[in-house]
Structure 1
Amino acid sequence: MAAGLHIVSKRKAGRALRWYVYAWRGGPLIHKSEGTRPKITAALTDAAAEARKAGRETPARSSSNIAGLITAFRTAPEFQKLAQSTRTSHNTWLGRIEEEFGDTPLTVFEDRRVRADVLDWRDKWADKPRSADAAMQTFSRLLSWGYDRGKLTVNVVKGFGQLYDANRSDVIWNADDFARIAAAASVEVNEGVALAAFTGLRRGDLVELPWDAIGEHAIIWKTNKSRGRNLATIPLLPETKALLARIVERHAADMAGRPEAKRRPLPATVLANSRWQPWTATGFGSRFDDAKKAAGITKHLHDLRGTFVTRCCIAGLNDREISDIVGWHTKDVAAIRAKYADQARVVVAIGERLAKATIS
């Protein structure tokens, strides 16, 4: 490295080694090429000098960088009002953004060409599309906040397409999936999987569902989605009631076998870990991922929402009722019904007719 230049290389499958030259670490890109490492020429050092000069000519803007923007964003009311799970996710990616771009002056992010650098950074997680998309969502939210506060005149990363196909509404768990996770997971994780299949709740809401939200016929609860502004009304299926009864019975049996001094009351949340303490979303997710890997299952916890939709279809709810419960478009509910629920009804009906024929 010379003259303060920052030179990095990146290799992608099937392509020649690519070199990127930045005016300084975290500074703007001033040159890129393929093949051998670029030589430090007068043209490069002049370009770096021009970039630094441009920064000095706008001291109010060049005194701010991405790290400073992140610090301000984290303390802003717009960030603080987000749900805890959303803040946790954003904080993870804000840290990674700061690590990569923290020293970069905000003036650099006025230039649309920086999009290429951001895409190269995103592509570190190209093999994990959901992570790559989460990275870009956080980045865009940060820059949009900077735009709203007058620190930027444009959000240069706005409009990136998603890598992950988010519509998995027609993916459901089958009996084999449940059997495999049951064998690999703890009883506490299996209770969480069952509750997800019986309620359609997202992971963050799943681990925080309180007992006092359980009514005689339905779960009525302000979920974490939109900071509690969404009122969830979920019918209590027979399977849900049976699961809740098993959790209460398991707790009672466990406490009965302990000395009185070591007995714990039933937690306020329906789900609890092995110490009878409420799960965190991260803790449950980690234990679930371990069990899923051990069981060789590729489906996600989120796919249990489709499983719940199937149960609602079979229970007799119409598409509009189900879409109101899970927040899906009615066409996605109809797709589940056509692909799984109606098929299940046909199989059951055939079985009943065969049974009657055999008896007669």
Structure 2
Amino acid sequence: MAKSKSKPLQGVHRVKKRLSGGVIKKYHYAFRGGPKFWSSDCSFEEGSTEYALAYAAILRGHKPSVSTAGRKITRSVIDRYRRSAHFVNLSERTRSDYGKYLTSFEEAFGDDPIKMFEEKEAVAEIREWKDRWAHSPKQYDYATSVVTRFLNWAMNDDASILVHHHANIARLYRSDRSDIVWLPEELRALRAVANDREKRVLIAASEGGLTPQDIGILRNEHVQKTPNGRRLFFRRTKSGKPVSIPVTPALSTLIETTPAGQEYLVVSLEGHMLTPERASGIVRDLKKRANAAAAKDSSLVHIRDELRLYDMRGTAATELLRAGCSLNEIAVTMGWGLRHAANIIEKYAAVVPEVADEVLKKLDEFRKNRSE
């Protein structure tokens, strides 16, 4: 069929996307929020007779409606998702984390029809959007999870799309740090260069096994009496699971030395509420200072580069194991499920020197008794 040019069609919603490498792709939809009828990958050009026929054919089955077109824009669907029970019933922390990626996703695709995500080509566009977190596999994977859950909701609950192809996406982040724990001498090296407020962060993490998210939420109201002492009882920020942590002498000193009128037991260096990022940053700064001192004095301990604040949780669990605590006691203290605790403790046991010594002691006793 001979190609002929015509005037631009009225009502067509035109979208341009710049892909990696600078390639620009065009997508034309019958109307704002409507179905796609042409893209720059098509064998016929924009404005050709075939283009007009494709537009007419798609309109015959999809008549635009002023009342529904706006509902089919990605921004509108995101707004409905934010108001849905699926989003509202998430924990406050999770809603905040999701919101970061949803806002960015809306900035990139908000004006596009939600129907574009029915096309396989949309996966490449989503992947390019996620590339802004290419420096952090963990954040990249989180973006993958948020978008997948949003599109699942749009398909199954909102029914604004019939299908999407952003499923079973391979994850980049793989981390098993169960065998990475702080050694006692490394913790002492941190304390040696820490000021009073920094030491409080270290005590909460290494003695209480608190996560960076939980250190800054503790108040005096979380301190409860027990028959033989005290405990810290609260719900984890991330999972909402209850945690019962025995108050050790070091934690007791932390509680008793909290300034009168201070709302939280552990605060930032400036006296404000301690955020997870700042808590982790304090430990990074202490490591730098301790290692700088060790570089000048060979008698001082160099702290391993891979260690981070979260790994002190493993140190606390290892201490409970060394103390002979049961699996249930460790699970409750750490805020883990029993199955998860069993898996983690099995790995921690391999890095606790005392366990090997205890096995050797029992083996020697067995052989001695057998020979008698």
* TM > 0.5 fold call: yes
1:180, 1:295 within 8 Å by CA — same for their partners in 2? yes
Quote the residue 2:146 is aligned against. 138
Q: 1:203 aligns with which of 194, 201, 212?
A: 212
Q: CA deviation at 1:110?
A: 1.8
Q: CA deviation at 1:305?
A: 1.8
1:224 matched to 2:219 = no
Cα-to-partner distance string for 1:289-337 (whole Å, 9 max, x where unaligned): 5556666744333222211111111111133432344313412211101
Residue correspondences, number: 315
Query: Higher Cα Rg: structure 1 or 2?
Result: 2
Q: 2:27 aligns with which of 23, 28, 33?
A: 23
Quote the residue 1:14 is aligned against. none
% of aligned pairs identical? 22
Q: TM-score, normalised by structure 2?
A: 0.69
d(CA) in 1 for partners of 2:208 and 2:174?
Answer: 24
Q: CA deviation at 1:52?
A: 11
d(CA) in 2 for partners of 1:234 and 1:266?
Answer: 21
Aligned-residue Cα RMSD (Å) equals: 3.8
Q: 1:90 aligns with which of 91, 98, 101?
A: 98
- Which is further off, 182-191 or 53-62? 53-62
1:265 matched to 2:270 = no
Q: CA deviation at 1:203?
A: 2.3
Q: 2:62 aligns with which of 51, 57, 64?
A: 57
Q: CA deviation at 1:135?
A: 1.0
Uncovered stretches (5+) of structure 2, i.e. residues with no partner: 1-7, 9-13, 292-304, 362-372
Cα-to-partner distance string for 1:88-131 (whole Å, 9 max, x where unaligned): 21111112111222222111112233222222322332331111
1:323, 1:329 within 8 Å by CA — same for their partners in 2? yes
2:194, 2:286 within 8 Å by CA — same for their partners in 1? yes
Cα-to-partner distance string for 1:249-276 (whole Å, 9 max, x where unaligned): 3x45xxxxxxxxxxx5132x32123454
Within 5 Å, which residues of 2 pair with 1:1-360? Answer: 6=16, 8-10=18-20, 17=21, 19-23=23-27, 30=39, 43=45, 57=62, 59=64, 60=68, 63-146=71-154, 147-175=156-184, 177-179=186-188, 181-182=190-191, 187-215=196-224, 216-226=229-239, 228=240, 230-236=241-247, 238=248, 241-246=249-254, 248-249=256-257, 251=258, 265-267=261-263, 269-285=264-280, 287-288=282-283, 297-326=305-334, 327=336, 328-340=340-352, 342=354
Match for 2:308: what amino acid? Answer: H
**CA 1:143/1:112 → structure 2, altered by over 3 Å: closer, same or farther?**
same
1:61, 1:106 within 8 Å by CA — same for their partners in 2? no
Uncovered stretches (5+) of structure 1, i.e. residues with no partner: 11-16, 33-39, 253-263, 350-360
1:173, 1:307 within 8 Å by CA — same for their partners in 2? yes
d(CA) in 1 for partners of 2:56 and 2:71?
Answer: 12
